[in-house]
Amino acid sequence: MSKDTAKDTDNPNLTSSNDASMAAKSPDSVTFALAQSHFLVGDITGNAEKMRTLALQAREQGADVIVFPELALLGYPPQDLLLRPSLSGRVKSALSSLSDIDDIVMIVGYPHVDHHGTFNSAAILHNGHQKGFYHKQILPNYGVFDERRYFDKGRNQVLFDYKGITIGLLICEDLWEKGPIAELKKQGADLIVCLNASPFEIEKQDNRKTMLAKRSRENDLPIIYLNAVGGQDDLVFDGGSMAVQADGSVAHEASRFMNQLMLATFDVKTAKFDTQAKAPLSLSRESEMYQALVVGLRDYVNLSGFSGIIVGLSGGIDSALTLCIAVDALGADKVYAVMMPYEYTSQISLEDAQAQARRLNVSYTVCPIFDAVEGIRHTLAPLFSKSPVDTTEENIQARARGVVLMALSNKFGHLVITTGNKSEIAVGYSTLYGDMAGGFDVLKDVYKTQVYKLASYRNRLEDTPVIPERVIVRPPSAELSPGQEDQDNLPEYDVLDGILMSYIDEDMGYQDIVDKGFDADLVARVIKMVDNNEFKRAQAPIGTKISHKAFGRERRFPLVNKWSIKG
């Protein structure tokens, strides 16, 4: 720790009179408890109480040290709560409330506020005293992260000695760069403890394992890697905490997307962890995507205090998949499906929507919108008399449905869940104040081609499909005009999604995308659609991030600009 931030020594020794009994239990090993748990943003008192419960539980199970996630005391990401003037006092009070917990070392993620600044920190608590603290050094400022807006940079390494080993502390991004862990090794660290709040995205766990293996082998150091779990707004933290040997192999791995108190014992003489008897199930790409969507919706709805959700069930694949995720997240008793047919709604759509609602045992209501649409058209007729019919009349249908859903929400207190996918949202194939009306979009970061894969995945989980097969195989349609199909206005989704993934997720420009083999005119058309619909996305509900680059906090473009796509 730098001189201007240190309250204790850089190497606090946790040995005390109480350590004798702890050491007697297992003098040649240290058992770490990894508290992979969901700590709620802003609930400082509740988070401290959860830490107390977990610490006492871990102590009962024989743990010597319990580790909590990054910023667990406040929750992550706290955003502008970090600017609240009462933050420091609340944090100090919460840390003080943990002072009566004896015989277990607690490593607590918290925001440290003093006259030198605000830091993303880890406190070392033992037998009623804060023995030291560490300030995060590498502050991420990309994607969903904006830590430089809030935090000052830590400057020094922190190690502490306990039961014959020297433990070095790191926080999340510190471990993704070479310098911090190398410096801890240089200063004599035997083991690294790293606190994390690492959000989920596709294949993120594989990337973590690759990084941990590289860092441990480079420095010949075992690593405790603890990650948070649970949903927060548009982010999901997927856990997957690990204890990694010095050779890069994984000794312990926690389950994904689940609260878990995982114990890992480190042998002081061999400098190795014991190995878990049974590793958690490996998740396929579709499985981890689906679990992330379930957790994201579950925690957003439940923690926001809604008693249930409303889904506009159209008989199409997007609403069908959304309904499955909703039932898996919240239970059938909290899900209300509403079918709102108009004259262009096919009989197949009516049959399939009803079949799925019955299969999932959700409340199902049919609310025709013919009178509502005709009433609006009649009102507008004098104003539209000299204008030809176009998509405006189609959008009246979508907006009538939006009015119905929002009225039901207003009357009964349920959250409206929208069903637009990432492909549609990208190119503006959606209606403001119509199918975009709602509070959460489950599929906001799921491309159409991924929707099909997830639907097939969910059907494979049960003997009787939860999504009717013809919903998956028939051509998608908004059913806003006779015989309408999505491909009347859009390229085939396989092609469209290839261009969109290149442009959005990979940040590729026009020429680079064309060089991948896509038609030049089509690429220009798709990019123009994406750029022209930024204003719609600015008004869209949030949805769970699962990709490398989701719409929202990590992709921000000006609504008005003159950027040339071919420049």
* β-bridge mates for residue 169, sequence order: 193
Q: Is the pLDDT of residue 10 over 50?
A: no
Q: Are the C-beta atoms of residues 205 and 240 closer than 8 Å to each other?
A: yes
Q: Is 185 a catalytic residue?
A: no
Q: Are the C-beta atoms of residues 273 and 264 closer than 8 Å to each other?
A: yes
pLDDT score, position 22: 38
User: Residue 111 burial by CB count (10 A; 0-12/13-18/19+): exposed, middle or buried?
Assistant: buried
Region for residue 559 given its phi and psi (left: phi exceeds 0; alpha: psi -120 to 50; beta: otherwise): alpha
Q: Which of 142-151, 227-236, 263-272 has the lowest mean pLDDT?
A: 142-151
Task: Pick the catalytic residue from 50, 131, 136, 422.
Answer: 136
User: Residue 188 burial by CB count (10 A; 0-12/13-18/19+): exposed, middle or buried?
Assistant: exposed
Q: Is 367 a catalytic residue?
A: no
Q: Which of 18-22, 206-210, 348-352, 481-485 has the lowest mean pLDDT?
A: 18-22
Round to whole Å and give the CA distance between 297 and 331: 12
pLDDT score, position 481: 64
Task: Pick the catalytic residue from 50, 70, 131, 424.
Answer: 70
Q: What is the pLDDT of residues 308-347, one digit of tens each?
A: 999 999 889 999 999 999 999 999 999 999 999 988 778 8
Number of DSSP helices (H) and strands (E) in the chain, helices first? 17, 20
Q: Is 136 a catalytic residue?
A: yes
pLDDT score, position 179: 94
Sign of CA dihedral 493, 461, 231, 151: negative
SS3 state of residue 28: coil
Predicted confidence band of residue 190 (pLDDT cuts 50, 70, 90): very high
Task: Pick the catalytic residue from 131, 172, 209, 545.
Answer: 172
SS3 state of residue 496: helix
Look-up of token digits 């933290």: 237
Round to whole Å and give the CA distance between 529 and 536: 11
pTM score over 0.85? yes
pLDDT score, position 564: 81
pLDDT mean over 63-74? 97
pLDDT mean over 424-432? 94
Q: What is the pLDDT of residues 353-385, one digit of tens each?
A: 899 999 999 999 999 999 999 999 999 999 999
Q: Is the pLDDT of residue 24 over 90?
A: no
pLDDT mean over 191-216? 96
pLDDT mean over 408-436? 95
pLDDT score, position 497: 95
Round to whole Å and give the CA distance between 449 and 443: 12
pLDDT > 90: what percent of the chain? 79
pLDDT score, position 223: 98
Predicted confidence band of residue 248 (pLDDT cuts 50, 70, 90): very high
Q: What is the pLDDT of residues 443-458, one digit of tens each?
A: 999 999 999 999 999 9
Q: Are the C-beta atoms of residues 127 and 104 closer than 8 Å to each other?
A: no
Q: Is the pLDDT of residue 153 over 70?
A: yes
The DSSP result for 32-69, as a single string, is EEEEE----TT-HHHHHHHHHHHHHHHHHTT-SEEE--
Average pLDDT over the chain reads 90
Q: What is the pLDDT of residues 166-186, one digit of tens each?
A: 999 999 999 999 999 999 999
pLDDT score, position 303: 95
Round to whole Å and give the CA distance between 44 and 244: 31
**CA geometry: angle at 542 spanning 536 and 544, to 5°?**
130
Q: What is the pLDDT of residues 97-138, one digit of tens each?
A: 999 999 999 999 999 999 999 999 999 999 988 899 999 999
Q: Is the pLDDT of residue 18 over 50?
A: no
Q: Is the pLDDT of residue 539 over 90?
A: yes
pLDDT score, position 26: 64
pLDDT score, position 567: 59
Instruction: Provide the token pair at 32.
Output: 């770490």
Q: Is the pLDDT of residue 205 over 90?
A: yes
Instruction: Provide the token pair at 378.
Output: 């009649």
pLDDT mean over 497-523? 95
Round to whole Å and give the CA distance between 364 and 385: 38
* β-bridge mates for residue 236, sequence order: 231
pLDDT > 70: what percent of the chain? 93
Q: What is the arrangement of strands in the sheet containing 29-36, beginning at the earlier edge strand?
A: 129-135, 117-126, 105-114, 65-67, 29-36, 260-267, 272-273
pLDDT mean over 394-399? 92
pLDDT score, position 400: 95
Q: Which long-range contacts (CB under 8 A, 24 or more apart) does 394-399 make?
A: 394/478, 394/480, 394/481, 395/431, 395/434, 395/480, 397/342, 397/344, 397/369, 397/373, 397/434, 397/480, 398/431, 398/434, 398/435, 398/478, 398/480, 399/431, 399/433, 399/434, 399/437
pLDDT score, position 25: 54
